[in-house]
Structure 1
Amino acid sequence: MKYIKLLFLSLIVLLQSCNGQEKINGVSFVASGIPVTDEHTNPVVAVHANYAAIMPFGFTQSLDNPELRHNSSRQWFGETRAGVKQYAESLQAKGIKIMVKPQIWIRNGEFTGYLKMKTEADWKTLETSYSNFILEYAEAAQEINAEILCIGTELEQFVANRPEYWSNLIIEIKKVYKGKLTYAANWDEYKRTPFWKQLDYIGIDAYFPVSDSKTPTVEECLEGWKAHKKTIKTFSDTYKKQILFTEYGYRSVDYAGKEPWVSDRSMTNVNLEAQNNTTKALFETFWKENWFAGGFIWKWFHAHNEVGGENDSQFTPQNKPVEAIIKNHFKSHK
C-alpha cells in the first residue's frame, strides 16, 4: 500500500511538471570581474529563485564588424568560459539550475538586433566567428550540465538575413549539447523568428508596452497585457511549445510600462510604485498559465548589498520594494 501511495505521488509530480506547473523562477545573474562566493549566491537563494541565467559575452567593434572576440583575458572573469563554470558550480551547490545565455556586446552599446553585414564575405566571417562563440558555450553548458542553453539574444537582422545558417547551427549545437534549447527573441521579433520548431522553448525578451501612465496601476497593466497575451498564447499553441521569458522586468522610473526596453540614462525620476505594479501585473498575467514556462528577471548583480536601493532608477529589483514582491511570488509559484 505504501508503495502504491508513493507511486501515485510520483505520478502527480510528473503530471504537474508536464503541465508546466513547475515554473522557472529565474534571475539574470550579471557577470563580474571576480569569482563568486556564498556571499554572492545566498541572496539568489533568499529570493526563492530556482534558476539563474549566466551570461558570457562576445564583443565586436561595430554593427557591421564580423569579428567576435570572446573568452579573452581582457574580459571580466564572469564573461569567460572559466567564469561560466565557476558561477554555475557555485549556484548549483545551492540547488539553483542554470541557463547559459551567451550574448554579444557591440561597442558603444549599439542594439544587437541591427547587427548586419554589408558583404557576403563578411557574413561568412561572422557566421564562422559566431559558431566558434556559441559552440564554445554549448560545450561549456554540457560540461556543467546546464538545463537550458540560449543560442542567441536579440539578433533579428542576423537571423532574418541568414536563416539557413541558423538552422544548420542548431543542428551543430545539438551534437555538442544535450539539454534544452531556446533563443531570446526581442518582444517585437519573436513572431518572425524562423526556427522555433527546432528548439524546446519559444524565448522572448518580454519588454512589451503595457501602459502610458506615469505611475501605471496593476489594473491598467493587466488591461495592457490582454492583446499581447492573446497573441503569445496563439503562438505557443501553433508551435506546441511553452513560452519562456528569457528576460523580463521593469525599471523603477516614471512611465515604466510605456517603453520598458529603454535602458539609457535619460529616464531618471525614480518611481518604485511603477516598478511594483508593472511587475505584479506580469506575474498575474502569465504565471498561472500551463503554456508559460516562467522567466528570468532582468537583472541581478553579484554584490547584493552594494546595488539597487530606493534611489536607483535602473532595472535591478535588488534592495527595492519589488524584491519582496518577487520573493513572495517565487515562493508561492514553484
Structure 2
Amino acid sequence: MGTNWEIKSFNFVTWDWSKDVELDQAKREIDEMVKRCAINTVTFAFAARQEHCYSTYIDWKSGFMPNLNELSELIHYAKSKGLKTIVKPMVNVNDGYWRAYIRFFDEDVPCEPKWSDWFRHYNEYMLAYGQFCEQNGVDMLIIGCEMVGTDHREQEWRYLISQLRQVYGGALTYNCDKYQEHNVKWWDALDYISSSGYYPKGMIENELERIEQVVRHYGKPFFFAEAGCPAVVGASAVPNDWKIIDKGIPSEKEQADYYTEFLSICAKKEFISGFCFWDWPIKSPATKEEIEQPGQYSIKWKQAEQIVAHFYRTH
C-alpha cells in the first residue's frame, strides 16, 4: 500500500512530451528542484486528451504522451537521488473546456455517449500506467485529477481501484478538485486523500477546517496534490483562475503573499501530510530573463520560491 511520508514536491508537468522533454534538461530540473527548494518527491504530471467533454474516446498513446522509456529513465534518476516518485496521468479536453465538465447521462441512453464507454477507455489508460508504475517502483499513482463530473460514479471508481490493486502495489490517491473533498464517497478505497488547494486568500483557514473533518472521518493521510497562485495582481482572490495569467498584471508580491498565508496556516494543521505545488515545468527556461510569462504559476526565480524553499527545509 505504500508508506506515508511528508510530501515536498511540485507538479513536474508537460502537456506535450515530444516537444518539451529533453532528458538531460529534465534531469537538471530535478536537480534544480532539490537544490533550490529541497523537494523530496518528484510528481510527474501529464495528460491524455479527448475531443470534448462528452467524448468517450481518450487518446493516451499519441506523441504528446510520455515516451515510457524516457519517463522510466527520469523516475530512476529521481530514485537514484533518494527522491520518492509520484505519477499523475490526467485528461485534458481539446476544445478548451476544463476536465471537470466531462459528464454523461447517469442512465445509458441508446445513441448517446455512455459512462460505460468512457470508463472503459479510462480504465485502460490507468491500468497501463498502474503496470508501468509497478515495473518502475513508483511510490504513488494519482488515479484522476479534478474530474468533478465523474466523482459521483462511485461504483466505476471502486471497480477501477480494485483492478489497479491487482497490478500495482504502491499507494493510490485521487486528486479531487477544490471544495469537493466532502463529495467523494470512496476515499475509504484509497490510501491517501488529496485535493487541489486553490482556496482564496482570507478563506484558507475555514476550508482547511472543513477538509479536516473529511480526513478525520476516513482516517487517511491527506496532502495537497495541487496548490498555488499565479504571479498576477488579483490572483490571490481567484488562485484557480489560470486565465488571469493572460489578462493580468504580473506581480511576484501577490504570489509571494499568497504562499506566505497559505503555508503559515497549513503549518498549524497536523493532518496535512504534504504538498505538490503547481507547477514546475519540465521544459524550463535556463535563466530568469528567458521567462516568457512572468505571471504564470511557476515560482522558479520568483519571491515565492524562497518562501516554499524555507518551508520545505524547516518542516
TM-score normalised per structure 2: 0.88
1:48 is aligned to 2:35: no
SS in 1 for 2:23: coil
1:292 is aligned to 2:280: no
SS in 1 for 2:269: coil
Paired with 1:127 and 1:326, the residues of 2 have a C-alpha distance of 37
Output aligned runs, 1:1-334, within 5 Å: 23-31=6-14, 32-33=17-18, 34-37=21-24, 38-46=27-35, 47-72=37-62, 74-76=63-65, 79-118=66-105, 120=108, 122-160=114-152, 162-210=153-201, 221=202, 224-264=203-243, 265-302=245-282, 303-306=284-287, 312-333=294-315
Distance 1:325 1:151, change over 3 A: same
Deviation per residue, 1:255-278 (Å, 9 max, x gap): 222111111144321111111111
Paired with 2:96 and 2:292, the residues of 1 have a C-alpha distance of 26
Alignment size in residue pairs:
298
Distance 1:203 1:330, change over 3 A: same
Q: CA RMSD in A?
A: 2.1
CA drift of 1:81 comes to: 3.1
SS in 1 for 2:237: coil
Distance 1:117 1:43, change over 3 A: same
Kept in 2, the 8 Å contact 1:51–1:97? The answer is: yes
Deviation per residue, 1:187-235 (Å, 9 max, x gap): 122211121011111111111122xxxxxxxxxx4xx322112111111
Paired with 2:279 and 2:46, the residues of 1 have a C-alpha distance of 14
CA drift of 1:310 comes to: 9.8
Distance 1:56 1:309, change over 3 A: closer
Unpaired stretches in structure 2, ≥5 consecutive residues: none
Kept in 1, the 8 Å contact 2:43–2:88? The answer is: yes
CA drift of 1:80 comes to: 4.2
Paired with 1:94 and 1:189, the residues of 2 have a C-alpha distance of 35
Paired with 1:110 and 1:267, the residues of 2 have a C-alpha distance of 18
Kept in 2, the 8 Å contact 1:203–1:246? The answer is: yes
Larger radius of gyration: 1
Identical pairs, percent: 20
Deviation per residue, 1:48-78 (Å, 9 max, x gap): 0001111232110000000001132x325xx
Distance 1:266 1:107, change over 3 A: same
SS in 2 for 1:110: coil
CA drift of 1:311 comes to: 6.2
SS in 1 for 2:156: helix
SS in 2 for 1:318: coil
Deviation per residue, 1:93-137 (Å, 9 max, x gap): 222211111100101331111101257263221111000000011
Paired with 1:97 and 1:325, the residues of 2 have a C-alpha distance of 22
Paired with 1:129 and 1:86, the residues of 2 have a C-alpha distance of 27
Unpaired stretches in structure 1, ≥5 consecutive residues: 1-17, 211-220
